[in-house]
Amino acid sequence: MPEFIDKVIGKKVAGTRVVPLTVKIVVIFTIFLLISNFTSNYINLMLNRGEQIGLLNELLIKDLRELHVFAGNQHEIYRFNNDLQEATENLTAAAARDFRGERSTALGVNESGVLLFHATNDAALSEFEDEAALELIRSRMAEGVEEGTLNFSLYGDRYFGVYKYHSRWDVFLLRGEELGEFYADSARIFTEISVIILLITLVCVAVGIFLLRYILRFVGVITASIMKMQNNQAIDLLDMSGAPNDDVTYLGVAFNSLASTIDNLMNIFKKFVARDVAARAYKEREIRLEGTKRQLTILFTDIKSFTFMTETLGTDIIKLLNLHYDKAIRNIHENNGDIGSIIGDALLAVFGTIAEDGDNKSLQALRSAYLIQDVAADLRREMHHRREKILEQRGSMTETEEAIYQAVLIEVGVGLDGGEVFYGNIGSYERMVNTVIGDNVNSAARLEGLTRVYRVPIICSDYVRAEVLYSAADEFEFVELDKVQVKGKTQGKRVYWPIKREHLTESLTEEIERFNTGRDAYYEGDWKAGLAAMKRCGLGISEVFVERMKGARVPEDWNGIWTMKEK
């Protein structure tokens, strides 16, 4: 039933029912059509009743004239036999012969209201009960008027009649018809015509609805499409295929033009702000200076040897950066991350900002980190392939070409950390930016810097490790690299090298075991055993510890935490 109501009188949007234009037109048209027809029918009825009253008046006058003559004859008989009862019975019978209805009446009444006779199908009265009508007759009589028309009441009903004074009987002869009975036929005709009008109107309404729905069908298409857009909180183009050449189609085409412009502006807007900010701005119609504390995961990536690349490539570095960032950002977006900022060779991404996203934000960030490494690796392979083709064709490369080749071999480091940060908009209502602020943001940048120290592509914190292991323990292996205290901090923290389990070969696993043995000895202050184990390890990360422990003594206050002197 609710679906039928919504289909007929429109759906509710934000508590307000949107009534279809077709329904409004049909209802208004029907109301005015019915008013017009019923009014015309009523006016016709009133005019016909006027004619009927005139005709009735003539008939009643004829009956009254005959009754007046008959009353005169009866008076002569009465004078002869002096039998009043017989005379009144004869008058009653003669008057009743001309009755046309069940409520017809004829009577003779004197100025005092006493009835000489009363011909009726109801109980006869002895007195005339309508004093107002009797007073009207007396006043007219006083003016010398002995006959006329008269409206009067009998038995509580209204009558129309004619009267004439009979001097010999000294009574007014009155012939009348009850109005309700007299008007019954016209009322019946009025009702029948009204029913016919109603039926014809309903048929016309049905045909009108069909025609209007067809003519205005694209009004419904436009309304339904806009409601869908409102529910989805996304603007789209209207399907106007097959639309007629009218003003409704023009409105639809104009809307599509406006929608295209808005969609274009929205796409541009999304390219400069975080996606959750764009979605909130679209929904709330404004952007405010506000922010909240949230649990987010931060990804920081930086291109290594960027100074050399800039000096070698000059302004062409922009093309290279765009080539790299285009794929990297797409991968971040595919994992529900948002770009916080891009500053030259550095990119900051934030995960966990999209409210409806229920996935593990640290897992998404780590997957994105590996995809960014894949983007850089693909570019290096492509450059290497082109170098090989040049060498095949020419046999060698110039010194400048070789420098350019080395410059485009992009290598990136990625640092991941997470926790409670401030996320929101800062600035002024003239110009604002979306930003993320917190120690964990700085920590992600410091961890990226450590990728150069430990010679691994990705380093993450214990926060990221714990979240990933919670939901995807079978996807990544985490190698604890070290316990470090970065510059500006008073406490040390464990840092990890996340490795995809699919990359763990038997030889790599053995090397990791050797590294773990040396690292544990290093933690415990047994640098001799640690140095021996690190020398047996073939991983690049072991070289860092070899340099630290070779020829060095264990500090007296050693707690296993290495303090970084540089950011």
Q: What is the pLDDT along the chain (567 residues), one digit of tens a residue?
A: 566 555 555 565 555 655 666 666 767 777 777 777 777 766 766 666 565 566 556 767 788 788 888 888 888 888 888 888 888 888 888 888 888 788 888 888 898 888 888 888 888 787 888 888 888 888 988 888 888 888 888 888 888 888 889 888 889 988 888 888 777 777 777 787 878 888 887 888 778 777 777 776 777 777 777 777 777 767 777 777 777 776 777 777 887 888 788 777 777 766 666 666 666 666 656 666 777 888 999 999 999 888 888 888 888 888 888 888 899 999 999 998 988 888 888 999 999 887 666 678 999 999 999 999 999 999 889 888 888 888 888 888 888 878 887 878 889 999 999 999 998 888 777 777 778 898 999 999 999 999 999 999 999 999 999 999 988 888 999 999 999 987 666 678 999 999 999 999 999 999 999 999 999 999 999 989 999 999 999 899 999 999 988 877 888 888 888 887 665
Question: Domain boundary at 134, 164, 187, which?
Answer: 187
| Residue closest to 302 by CA, chosen among 421, 416, 422 | 416
CA pseudo-torsion sign 212, 217, 218, 222: positive
CATH number for position 79: 3.30.450.20
Residue 45 resides in a domain: yes
Q: How far apart are the first and last CA of the chain?
A: 69
pLDDT at 194: 79
487 and 401 share a domain?
no
The answer to whether 346 touches 314, Cβ cutoff 8 Å, is: no
291 and 357 share a domain?
yes
Question: Domain boundary at 469, 484, 512, which?
Answer: 469
420 and 454 share a domain?
yes
The answer to whether 561 touches 522, Cβ cutoff 8 Å, is: no
- Find where tokens 């002024």 sit: 428
298 and 417 share a domain?
yes
pTM: 0.61
Element (DSSP H or E) covering residue 254: helix 247-272
Task: Measure the CA–CA gap between 35 and 324, rounded to whole angstroms.
Answer: 75
CATH number for position 403: 3.30.70.1230
29 and 167 share a domain?
yes
Question: Domain boundary at 187, 202, 231, which?
Answer: 187
**Sheet hosting strand 171-178, strand order edge to edge:** 115-120, 105-109, 171-178, 157-166, 147-154
